[in-house]
Amino acid sequence: MFEKTVAELSRALGRKEFSSAELTTVFLERISRYQNLNAFITVDPERSLAQAKAADVRIARGEGGALTGIPVAQKDIFCADGWLTTCGSKILSNFTAPYDATVIDKLNRAGAVCLGKTNMDEFAMGSSNETSYYGVVKNPWNPETVPGGSSGGSAAAVAARLAPAATGTDTGGSIRQPAALTGLSGLKPSYGRVSRYGMIAFASSLDQGGPLCRTAEDCAWLLNAMAGFDARDSTSVDAPVPDYTKTLDQKIEGLRIGLPKEYFGEGLNPEIAQVIQAAIGEFKQLGAQVLEVSLPNSQLAIPCYYVLAPAEASSNLSRYDGARYGFRASDYKDLLDMYCKTRAEGFGPEVKRRIMIGTYALSAGYYDAYYLKAQQLRRLIAEDFRRAFEVCDVIMGPTSPSTAFKIGEKTDDPVAMYLNDIYTVPINLAGLPGMSVPAGFDARGLPIGLQLIGKYFDEARLLNVAHRYQQVTDWHQRTPKGFS
């Protein structure tokens, strides 16, 4: 059962080969068996099973939809009514969300079963899942390596078949990079496609929720339910949601693929370069044309991002002050002391680092040199993409400059850690949709991801292109050893 994709499970549930309760039990048992991966922060079998049974009733009445009864692991960044929602932080270690995020609400309405809340980098700030207050997550492909981040728990859970699908969020690569490092298909939709309401904010102008699945087809199924206009989010775009599964099989003959030369320069592991070239070769076989494009300001995306994201975060995280919810320090002498101790004890080192950088970038006398400069660069980066898309339909390249690295390898060097996002961050800055799909393995057997970048709101095309690729390759069907 656990080897099946969402699409397969949905068909099986519809044919009543097994019930959602049985299916959910299988996954709950696996979650419990593979606890050592530390993929989940919270599991609540009773709650999950209650949802599964309700889904079974819907299916029995013939009222089920595509996702009814499908267990989905939720990144612990999404508020889910009645569920502990920590965002990977101590400061929310006692926070039982009193409302549902729009994504959660939409998946609930679709009949999906919440399988639990997955581990993540604290407030999504990290590329390795090592900043979580709830401990590191292990990569099922090699438990000594990281699963990537920040949606590392979601990625590890789906890769280890502890869940058929999971939600993630992506501010600078947090869906695509872990998908690449764990051999999954992950989609970061266009900014404004998926509601951010109830998705705990890291950097508001960059954050976007999306699915982490085994296949592009499953991503399409999940996105169908997750996407759409939300009146509660002023940045949500009021545009109809197409049925993303309908266009999956379209032919891609004549597709113009742009390869940004900046994505294949130094710093890219040659093994990865080779795998990406091989993947491009497959697309040529499928009839695509390949041409070189240029994203000249891409190399400045990391500096730009590390101003904008921390600046927004420093403000977004001010609400965690111990006054209305969450952790409050136990010993303080006055209000200021309560604030300072609550936040010093409640936030981990990486979060504090980013709060301070962001505070600095916004502070009097530095705003123009940092924040404004970064916003100007952001426009140049977005312009690069606009120009490139005048000559191509999809841009492709590596998702990550390296495969999964060893736990602890980069924790002492934040700058080295930040450079993991070099290929993913520009897409967030431009607000475009991006995807990572498995395209091969390195010599150590660790997965390598191919990144696909689309035009604004062109998710359907990305999913179609990825799906066609997955019909002629089997990288997405590999299971890490010990989990089949």
Partner 1 sequence: MEWETVIGLEVHTQLLTRSKAFSAAATKYGAEPNTQACAVDIALPGVLPVFNREAAHMAVKFGLAIGAQINHRSVFARKNYFYPDLPKGYQISQYELPIVAKGHITIDVDGSEKVIGITRAHLEEDAGKSLHEDFHGMTGIDLNRAGTPLLEIVSEPDMRSSKEAVAYLKKLHELVRYLEICDGNMQEGSFRCDANVSVRPFGEKKFGTRAELKNINSFRFVEKAIEFEVERQIELLEGGGKVVQETRLYDSDKNATRSMRSKEEAMDYRYFPDPDLPPLVLDDAFIADVKKTLPELPDVKRARFIKQYSLNAYDASVLTSSREMADYYEQVLCESGADPKIAANWITVEMSAFLNRDNRDIATSPVTARMMSSLLKRLADNTISGKIAKEVFEAMWNGEGDADAVIQKKGLKQITDGAAIEKVIDAVIAKNPKQLEQYRAGKEALFGYFVGQVMKASQGKANPGQVNELLKNKLKP
Partner 2 sequence: MSLDREQVRKMAHLARLTITEQEAASYAETLSRILVLIEQMNAVDTTGVAPMAHPNESGLRLREDTVTEPNLREKFQKIAPSVEAGLYLVPKVIE
Under the criterion CB under 8 A, does residue 61 sit at the interface with partner 2? no
Under the criterion CB under 8 A, does residue 321 sit at the interface with partner 2? yes
Under the criterion CB under 8 A, does residue 483 sit at the interface with partner 2? no
Under the criterion CB under 8 A, does residue 374 sit at the interface with partner 2? yes
Choose which of 134, 339, 405, 469 interacts with partner 2 (CB under 8 A). 339
Least distance CB 449 / partner 1 (angstroms): 28
From the list partner 1, partner 2, none, which binds 391 (C-beta under 5 to 8 Å, kind-based)? none
**CA gap 71, 108 in Å, rounded:** 11
From the list partner 1, partner 2, none, which binds 332 (C-beta under 5 to 8 Å, kind-based)? partner 2
Residue with tokens 């989905």: 72
Least distance CB 364 / partner 2 (angstroms): 10
Least distance CB 348 / partner 1 (angstroms): 16
437 near 466, Cβ under 8 Å?
A: yes
Helices (H), 110-229: 152-159, 176-182, 216-226
**CA gap 118, 153 in Å, rounded:** 5
Residue type at position 429: L
* Angle CA 83–207–256, to nearest 5: 130
Annotated catalytic residue 90: no
**CA gap 432, 151 in Å, rounded:** 19
174 near 433, Cβ under 8 Å?
A: no
For partner 2, the closer of residues 235 and 473 by Cβ is 235
Tell the burial category of 136 from Cβ atoms under 10 Å away from its Cβ (0-12, 13-18, 19+).
buried
Phi, psi of 378 (to 5 degrees): -60, -40
DSSP bridge partners of 145: 406
From the list partner 1, partner 2, none, which binds 134 (C-beta under 5 to 8 Å, kind-based)? none
Under the criterion CB under 8 A, does residue 302 sit at the interface with partner 2? yes
Q: Which of residues 114-173 bind partner 2 (CB under 8 A)?
A: none
- Please give the residue ranges that form the binding site for partner 1 (CB under 8 A): 78-79, 85, 87, 92, 95, 97-99, 101, 196-201, 203-205, 231-235, 311-312, 314-315, 317-321, 323-325, 335, 339, 359, 362-364, 367, 371
From the list partner 1, partner 2, none, which binds 174 (C-beta under 5 to 8 Å, kind-based)? none
Residue 90 tokens read as 């101590």
Under the criterion CB under 8 A, does residue 425 sit at the interface with partner 2? no
From the list partner 2, partner 1, none, which binds 341 (C-beta under 5 to 8 Å, kind-based)? partner 2
Q: Which of residues 182-221 bind partner 2 (CB under 8 A)?
A: 190-192, 205-206
Would you say the C-alpha torsion 398, 404, 409, 412 has a positive or negative sign? positive
Residue 97 tokens read as 């969300």
DSSP bridge partners of 114: 72
Least distance CB 24 / partner 2 (angstroms): 27
* Angle CA 295–301–305, to nearest 5: 155
For partner 2, the closer of residues 61 and 333 by Cβ is 333
| Stretch touching partner 2 by CB under 8 A, among 138-146, 172-180, 340-348, 476-484 | 340-348
* Angle CA 10–16–20, to nearest 5: 60
Tell me which H or E stretch contains 40: strand 40-42
What is the Cα gyration radius of the chain? 21
How long a stretch of residues is the chain? 484
Annotated catalytic residue 150: yes
From the list partner 1, partner 2, none, which binds 420 (C-beta under 5 to 8 Å, kind-based)? none
Residue 285, number of CB atoms within 10 A of its CB? 9
| Residue 475 vs residues 61, 288, 439: alpha-carbon distances, Å | 38, 20, 6
**CA gap 269, 442 in Å, rounded:** 10
From the list partner 1, partner 2, none, which binds 19 (C-beta under 5 to 8 Å, kind-based)? none
Nearest C-alpha neighbor of 425 from the set 193, 262, 194, 197: 262
From the list partner 2, partner 1, none, which binds 96 (C-beta under 5 to 8 Å, kind-based)? partner 2
Choose which of 118, 150, 169, 297 interacts with partner 2 (CB under 8 A). 297
Annotated catalytic residue 341: no
Least distance CB 241 / partner 1 (angstroms): 20
For partner 1, the closer of residues 147 and 172 by Cβ is 172
Under the criterion CB under 8 A, does residue 235 sit at the interface with partner 2? yes
Under the criterion CB under 8 A, does residue 389 sit at the interface with partner 2? no
* Crossing angle of helices 102-109 and 216-226, rounded to 10°: 100
Cα dihedral: 271, 276, 277, 282 (round 10): 130
Under the criterion CB under 8 A, does residue 239 sit at the interface with partner 2? no
Q: 98-117 mask for partner 2 (x: CB under 8 A)?
A: x-------------------
Instruction: Kindly name the residue from 10, 75, 90, 236 that is annotated as catalytic.
Output: 75
Residues that bind partner 2 (CB under 8 A): 94-96, 98, 190-192, 205-206, 231, 234-235, 237-238, 297, 299-300, 302-304, 306-307, 314, 318, 321-326, 328, 332, 334-341, 343-344, 347, 352-353, 355-357, 359-361, 363, 370, 372-380, 382, 414-415, 418, 429-432
Q: Which residues are catalytic?
A: 75, 150, 174
